Chains A and B, each alone.
Chain A
Amino acid sequence: MTTLLEVNDLRVTLATAHGPADALRGVSFTLQAGGTLGLIGESGCGKSLTALALMGLLPEGADVAGSIRFGGRELTALDDAAYSALRGDRIAMVFQEPMTALNPLHPIGRQIAEPLRLHRGLDASAARAEALRLLERVQLPNAERRLVAYPHQLSGGQRQRVVIAIALACGPDLLIADEPTTALDTTVQREVLDLLDELRVASGMALLLISHDLDLMAAHVDRLAVMYGGVIVESGPTRAVFERRAHPYTRGLFAARPRLGTDRTMPLATIAGRVPALHEMPSGCAFADRCTLAIDACRSAPPPATMVGDGHFVRCIRWEMAS
């Protein structure tokens, strides 16, 4: 296996109304070619920001430190033109809301053809033929007729298939899918994710799946990283993370989700307090103020990554008490 993506100590500082805020505070992970990694966490933990940093799409005034190595190239040093050549070609992204990701004024055939004309230099008829092939690949019924359809004429699931077709157009090495099925019905969600799995296996691309849904992760990624307060607090093989739940935050997430067949007279477990705002991130463990196991040492310095199993890491000095 070769390493496709290596993110090392990635730090992103955003300009906010309260001054500069450290939104990513040292994120590190690797993704093998053809591999799958899930980023899980709640609003504001930095998972979408990580995706935007990989895509070179950070907001104006954001400051990046650390390293993103992709296929042997350092991405943090790329200029806009070089990033544009990479984006949509080697790295593609599927966003949450297919209605806003598509241009309502252009027929979908033209939107699928766009990256092909841009990155592959195909002429109009070759791009159209390739667009048709892609629509068939994402299993959109009546693909030929649909080339001239507009986004509003498609259902949510069909639109997300179109967005996936656009992302796959140039055969990327890495697909980043940010909550790709959150806006879709359960049965459609299943179809879209099964399709993504199928396409990934067939093409050998790697998948970075971003979601807040633990069950989705268990079904679709081999490795899982749990984010909180701009750092990865636990990472490892998905099954090991599910079975061990070494970080107290990981435990909290698992306990809070309603599951079929549980006793409804017992209240759901909750995590006390709330996520600290970006400008008031503590200097030690970001979770300490909500953690029942926290001691003084948790607040004095950010906890280092400790290995708890094969390829399984946790940033918690109290993990032995938690698991």
Chain B
Amino acid sequence: MSAAALVEAIGLGRRYRLPRESLLSPGAVVQALDDVSFTLQAGTTLGIVGESGSGKSTLARLVMALETPSAGRLCFEGRDLHALARATLRDARRDFQIVFQDPFSSLDPRMSIARTVAEPLEELAHVGRAERRERAAAMLEAVGLNAAQDLDKVPHEFSGGQRQRIAIARALVTHPKLIVADEPVSALDVSVQAQVLNLMQNLQQRLGLAYLFISHDIAVVERMADDLLVLQHGRVVERGRPADVLHAPVHAYTRRLLAALPRPRWQA
């Protein structure tokens, strides 16, 4: 690639040691992620597909610098994220934020929406209280909520789709360059899912965001992603443009995923 990538993963690996089962022998080691490499350009979307245990969420945690890799490097704008000093890393965090799957458990039920959305700003010392509230209001408007009405409400007053919008507003409040979205619409109803996907595409165009978009739903990933990685047992088994990967899958696992999609009885 000519331009420096926003995110570059080189031979990323992560091992976990399981709790030991006997007093005398050490626990078994699980290779959750093994030799994963990719680049993600600014303003584009990398889709990650795979089933439970494929390493999708481990990858999200490494990209978010919530865990350190056992092997390889993860560079954000050319800097090795896991080699940064603590204070530098904390500052760098404003550039990457995460949206989780379940908008019911990812928001603090006792915190007002204003505080929830502005919370990431508390780490950035120079943003005062009034400005925090102002920026929270702007973000709520950006995700299609009514700031004047909603700032002082608490999460239970919102539907699932509105909560996911709030989670997106919180992720946007630091003006990040990357949002890691871990199954962001899986818990939502079909019609609400469509609204949130449209919103994410719209925000990407307006703000030049990059997404690392994790999903088990390949139709959703095809819609959102410019590039696609298929993960199985922690390894990349197939990669490419979604249309190519999904219409002419090469790896047996990708074929199996596609074959498992339900087909109408009258076409069987």
Contacts and interface: CB of A to CB of B under 8 A. Distances in A.
Contacts of B222: 258, 260-261, 264
Interface residues of B, number: 37
Contacts of B220: 258
Interface stretch (B7-15, B147-155, B164-172, B195-203): B195-203
B264 A219 contact: yes
Contacts of B191: 42, 252-253, 256, 270-271
A268 to B, nearest CB: 4
Contacts of B197: 258, 268
A187 B52 contact: no
B51 A185 contact: yes
Interface string A40-76: 0011000000000000000000000000000000000
B260 A261 contact: no
Given A185-B52, A264-B223, A219 B262 contact: yes
Given A42-B189, A185-B52, A264-B222, A190 B194 contact: no
B181 to A, nearest CB: 15
A133 B191 CA distance: 43
Contact of B189 (A43, A185, A258, A259): A43
Interface in A270-287: 270-271, 274
A198 interface: no
Interface string B160-199: 1100000000000000000000000000011111110110
A291 interface: no
Interface in A204-260: 212-216, 218-220, 222, 238-239, 242, 252-253, 256-260
B262 A268 contact: no
Contact of A216 (B189, B194, B246, B262): B262
B206 interface: no
Given A156-B52, A186-B216, A187-B257, A256 B193 contact: yes
B190 A186 contact: no
B188 to A, nearest CB: 9
Is the contact region of chain B dominated by helix, strand, or loop, or is it mixed? helix
B261 interface: yes
Nearest to A183: B52
A58 to B, nearest CB: 23
Contacts of A43: 160, 189
A252 B190 CA distance: 10
Contact of B263 (A212, A214, A219, A238): A219
Given A258-B197, A258-B222, A258-B223, A190 B189 contact: no
B262 A258 contact: no
Contact of A215 (B51, B216, B262, B268): B262
B264 A239 contact: yes
Contact of B219 (A185, A188, A222, A259): A259
Interface in B194-246: 194-195, 197-198, 201-202, 216-220, 222-224, 243, 246
Contacts of A260: 218-219, 222, 246, 261
A139 interface: no
B266 A186 contact: no
A186 B222 CA distance: 16
Nearest to A264: B223
Contacts of A212: 189-190
Contacts of B216: 185-186
A190 B264 CA distance: 13
A187 B219 CA distance: 15
B234 to A, nearest CB: 15
B265 A218 contact: yes
A269 interface: yes
A242 B265 CA distance: 12
Contacts of A253: 190-191
B159 interface: yes
Contacts of B265: 218-220, 222, 238-239
Contact of B257 (A42, A186, A216, A274): A186
Given A42-B191, A257-B219, A260-B261, 9 more contacts: A156-B52, A212-B189, A215-B261, A238-B265, A257-B190, A257-B194, A258-B219, A267-B201, A268-B198
9 contacts: A185-B216, A190-B262, A219-B262, A219-B268, A256-B191, A256-B194, A260-B219, A260-B261, A268-B198
Interface of A: 42-43, 156, 185-190, 193, 212-216, 218-220, 222, 238-239, 242, 252-253, 256-262, 264, 267-271, 274
